[in-house]
């Protein structure tokens, strides 16, 4: 047995670490305790090994720069598998392979894979210590970048083993970079064994196993079995001038501004209003004893997209990244500064791009990769909600669904009821951006923004959402928003960014029974006098009407497009969803 296998008080963890170490054959095993001293030592080691480059420490204290392999810059849905006993359980929206076959293949790739490397044992806790919703995982990884990032994104180290005690109920995550080869890249989930195996990548979403893999794909199973929801949602608290806080969750597909919305800073018009961030990416939500839905943020950091982040789009994020942040695949200036497209100020006269090649403003290529990231601790957020540490979570009054749609979808409407709201969430569509696919304006259906993250059959997932209503006597109101609608001149109708506060105000006041609405074809909608338009340059009641308009012809097309997904899911699609579709067609 490898020395250092049995370092914890938990026999199940020790036994499993010994078994994986015997298989992967690392040179050394390092058990992470999550201390500051350990972070300092590992950071120094990462710098010495070239994995991290220190930024100018006067300007960016505690901040480091990392470049990933150019073949490894994003989540890879085609390499992501849900290994349930039957293909039907994973459903048509997931890749599937039988658990035994996948395990054999991956254990083959892992045999001796850590020779010459250190295996880090990374215990982590998702959720506040002591929360009934919190869960423990242990990730075994040969990447020091993963260890340092997990230290930001999760409650890492001793705290997790303390929460676990001598129990057996922890997620087993195994990660090896291997040779970072796309041909040997797999992110495999074994829900029945509470196990994740990720090989061949060192990019965040594929390898920070607490995040998308555990907190969404595996947790969606636990939620289904135990009566709660694991969702790709931000959570924020709106404090009105009377000091009352209303908590709201929001699901938007990737690259629709979830982090910006979670950190919204109200414009000057909203004196006395504050928006507090609970989380920017993932919410675990469980019915509470008072019949309301309570949410925790299982994470402790923000793994946000850098390009486009600036003092206007997200001033709080700019505060978050000032200290103790790891930047990946942005551009690096000669004086140890970072830059990306859409950052404040002019581009540097010269820098190294995300590939490490010389870049000037005349270069054709982008300096920062479009999916370059910052990994920043939430404790840096000046508007971090204190409730983020509350084991009970926060009571959710509204759920907001949204997507990026240049036509058809109004700025805001409220679903008639829970079942209608589930239909609204199930039919979210979002237009792909050029950066992501090259196909501009293609609508991809992304139900509840969970298409890449739901770990079981999406039809059963809709049924679970419908079932949840039985356990929530006092359910959140459900809304749909679209910040991206354009006019005939291809201009955005709505100013967006901090002005989204006006939409948020209407939503919050609806939840508090203090805002009016009229019944529209799609749901409840604000009239011009229900909506604060004062001080909005160039946006008046007529523009609001345009942003809110419902064109029956466009909607007939929309309903037909929704059918593409419904046909794929047909065998598991709940009747209620089909019924809601019929009702909408009748209203149209």
d(CA 157, CA 88): 37
Label residue 16 left, alpha or beta by phi (over 0 means left) and psi (-120 to 50 means alpha). alpha
Kindly state the smallest distance separating residue 560's Cβ from Mn ion, in Å: 29
Task: Rank residues 266 and 308 by Cβ distance to Mn ion and give the closer one.
Answer: 308
Task: Give the pair of three-digit tokens for residue 177.
Answer: 């970079």
Binding partner of 446, given Mn ion, ligand OXD, none, CB within 5-8 angstroms per partner class: none
Kindly state the smallest distance separating residue 212's Cβ from Mn ion, in Å: 7
Whether 247 contacts 236, CB under 8 Å: yes
Beta bridge partners of 431: 443
Q: What letter does residue 570 receive in the DSSP assignment? A: G
Whether 294 contacts 395, CB under 8 Å: yes
Task: Rank residues 65 and 303 by Cβ distance to ligand OXD and give the closer one.
Answer: 303
Q: How many residues interact with Mn ion (rule CB under 5 A)?
A: 1
Beta bridge partners of 122: 139
Binding partner of 75, given ligand OXD, Mn ion, none, CB within 5-8 angstroms per partner class: ligand OXD
Q: Are strands 186-190 and 195-199 parallel, antiparallel or unpaired?
A: antiparallel
Residue nearest to Mn ion (CB): 281
Query: Which position among 32, 79, 213, 256 bears the catalytic label?
Result: 256
Q: Where are the beta strands (DSSP E) in 91-207?
A: 95-96, 118-126, 135-141, 155-156, 171-176, 186-190, 195-199
d(CA 161, CA 11): 11
d(CA 167, CA 182): 36
Binding partner of 200, given ligand OXD, Mn ion, none, CB within 5-8 angstroms per partner class: none
Whether 245 contacts 238, CB under 8 Å: yes
d(CA 60, CA 376): 12
Helices and strands, number each (H, E), in the chain:
17, 31
Exactly one of 139, 239, 280, 281 binds Mn ion (CB under 5 A); which one? Answer: 281
Kindly state the smallest distance separating residue 328's Cβ from Mn ion, in Å: 15
Q: At what angle do helices 36-48 and 144-153 cross, to 10 degrees?
A: 140
d(CA 475, CA 344): 41
Q: Are strands 443-445 and 477-481 parallel, antiparallel or unpaired?
A: unpaired
Stretch that binds Mn ion, among 2-10, 24-32, 280-288, 322-330 (CB under 5 A): 280-288
List of residues 6+ apart from 343 with CB closer than 8 A: 306, 309, 310
d(CA 413, CA 424): 10
Residue 353 CB-half CA count within 13 A = 17
Kindly state the smallest distance separating residue 232's Cβ from Mn ion, in Å: 6
Kindly state the smallest distance separating residue 452's Cβ from ligand OXD, in Å: 7
Task: Rank residues 97 and 233 by Cβ distance to Mn ion and give the closer one.
Answer: 233
Task: Rank residues 205 and 402 by Cβ distance to ligand OXD and give the closer one.
Answer: 205
How far is C-alpha 151 from the chain's CA centre? Answer: 17
Kindly state the smallest distance separating residue 171's Cβ from ligand OXD, in Å: 19
User: 256 catalytic, yes or no?
Assistant: yes
Task: Rank residues 145 and 303 by Cβ distance to ligand OXD and give the closer one.
Answer: 303
Beta bridge partners of 135: 126
Kindly state the smallest distance separating residue 208's Cβ from ligand OXD, in Å: 10
Kindly state the smallest distance separating residue 519's Cβ from ligand OXD, in Å: 34
Task: Rank residues 235 and 419 by Cβ distance to Mn ion and give the closer one.
Answer: 235
Provide Rg for the chain, Cα atoms.
24
Task: Rank residues 178 and 234 by Cβ distance to ligand OXD and give the closer one.
Answer: 234
Does residue 446 touch Mn ion according to CB under 5 A? no
Residue nearest to ligand OXD (CB): 254
Cα separation values, 231 from 157, 221, 444, 451, Å: 25, 11, 19, 11
Binding partner of 485, given ligand OXD, Mn ion, none, CB within 5-8 angstroms per partner class: none
Q: What letter does residue 65 receive in the DSSP assignment? A: E
Task: Rank residues 18 and 255 by Cβ distance to Mn ion and give the closer one.
Answer: 255
Binding partner of 299, given Mn ion, ligand OXD, none, CB within 5-8 angstroms per partner class: none
Burial 311-329 (b: 16+ CB within 10 A, else e): eebbbbbbbbbeebbbbbb
Whether 34 contacts 156, CB under 8 Å: yes
Task: Rank residues 231 and 387 by Cβ distance to Mn ion and give the closer one.
Answer: 231
Task: Rank residues 139 and 281 by Cβ distance to ligand OXD and give the closer one.
Answer: 281
Contacts with ligand OXD by CB under 6 A lie at: 75, 205, 254, 281, 303
Q: At what angle do helices 458-468 and 552-569 cross, to 10 degrees?
A: 110
Task: Give the pair of three-digit tokens for residue 29.
Answer: 């095993």
Binding partner of 189, given ligand OXD, Mn ion, none, CB within 5-8 angstroms per partner class: none
Whether 188 contacts 106, CB under 8 Å: yes
Binding partner of 205, given ligand OXD, Mn ion, none, CB within 5-8 angstroms per partner class: ligand OXD
Binding partner of 266, given ligand OXD, Mn ion, none, CB within 5-8 angstroms per partner class: none
Q: Contact positions toward Mn ion, by CB under 5 A? A: 281
Residue positions annotated with a catalytic role: 256
């Amino acid at each position: 047995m490898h020395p250092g296998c049995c370092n914890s008080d938990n026999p199940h963890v020790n036994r499993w670490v010994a078994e994986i170490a015997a298989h992967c054959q690392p040179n050394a095993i390092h058990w992470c305790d999550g201390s500051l001293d350990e972070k300092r030592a590992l950071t120094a080691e990462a710098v010495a090994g070239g994995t991290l480059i220190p930024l100018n420490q006067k300007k960016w204290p505690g901040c480091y720069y990392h470049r990933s392999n150019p073949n490894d810059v994003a989540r890879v849905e085609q390499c992501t598998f849900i290994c349930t006993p039957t293909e039907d359980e994973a459903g048509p929206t997931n890749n599937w392979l039988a658990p035994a076959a996948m395990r054999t293949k991956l254990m083959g790739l892992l045999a001796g894979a850590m020779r010459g490397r250190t295996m880090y044992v990374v215990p982590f806790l998702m959720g506040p210590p002591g929360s009934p919703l919190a869960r423990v995982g242990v990730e075994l990884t040969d990447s020091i970048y993963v260890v340092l990032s997990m230290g930001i994104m999760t409650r890492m180290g001793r705290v997790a083993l303390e929460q676990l005690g001598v129990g057996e109920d922890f997620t087993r995550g195994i990660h090896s970079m291997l040779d970072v080869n796309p041909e040997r890249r797999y992110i495999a989930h074994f829900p029945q064994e509470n196990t994740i195996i990720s090989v061949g990548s060192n990019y965040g979403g594929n390898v920070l196993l607490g995040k998308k893999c555990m907190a969404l794909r595996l947790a969606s199973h636990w939620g289904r079995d135990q009566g709660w929801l694991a969702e790709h949602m931000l959570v924020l608290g709106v404090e009105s001038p009377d000091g009352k806080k209303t908590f709201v969750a929001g699901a938007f597909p990737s690259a629709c501004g979830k982090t910006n919305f979670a950190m919204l800073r109200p414009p000057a018009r909203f004196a006395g209003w504050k928006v507090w961030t609970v989380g920017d990416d993932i919410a675990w939500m469980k019915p509470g004893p008072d019949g309301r839905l309570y949410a925790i943020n299982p994470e402790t950091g923000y793994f946000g997209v850098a390009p486009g982040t600036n003092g206007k789009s997200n001033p709080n994020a700019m505060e978050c990244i000032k200290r103790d942040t790891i930047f990946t695949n942005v551009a690096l200036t000669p004086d140890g500064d970072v830059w990306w497209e859409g950052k404040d100020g002019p581009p540097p006269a010269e820098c190294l791009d995300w590939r490490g090649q010389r870049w000037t403003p005349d270069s054709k290529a982008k300096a920062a990769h479009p999916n370059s990231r910052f990994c920043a601790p939430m404790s840096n957020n000046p508007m971090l909600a204190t409730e983020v540490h509350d084991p009970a979570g926060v009571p959710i009054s509204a759920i907001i669904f949204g997507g990026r749609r240049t036509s058809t979808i109004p700025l805001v409407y409220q679903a008639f009821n829970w079942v209608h709201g589930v239909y609204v969430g199930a039919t979210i569509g979002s237009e792909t951006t050029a950066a992501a696919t090259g196909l501009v304006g293609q609508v991809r259906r992304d139900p509840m923004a969970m298409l890449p993250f739901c770990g079981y059959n999406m039809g059963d997932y809709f049924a679970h959402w419908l079932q949840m209503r039985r356990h929530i006597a006092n359910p959140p109101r459900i809304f749909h928003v679209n910040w991206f609608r354009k006019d005939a001149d291809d201009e955005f109708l709505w100013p967006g960014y901090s002005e989204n506060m006006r939409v948020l105000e209407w939503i919050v006041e609806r939840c508090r029974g203090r805002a009016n609405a009229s019944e529209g074809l799609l749901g409840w909608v604000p009239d011009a006098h229900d909506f604060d338009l004062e001080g909005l340059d160039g946006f008046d009641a007529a523009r609001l009407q345009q942003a809110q308009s419902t064109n029956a012809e466009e909607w007939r097309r929309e309903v037909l497009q929704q059918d593409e997904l419904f046909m794929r899911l047909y065998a598991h699609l709940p009747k209620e969803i089909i019924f809601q579709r019929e009702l909408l067609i009748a209203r149209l």
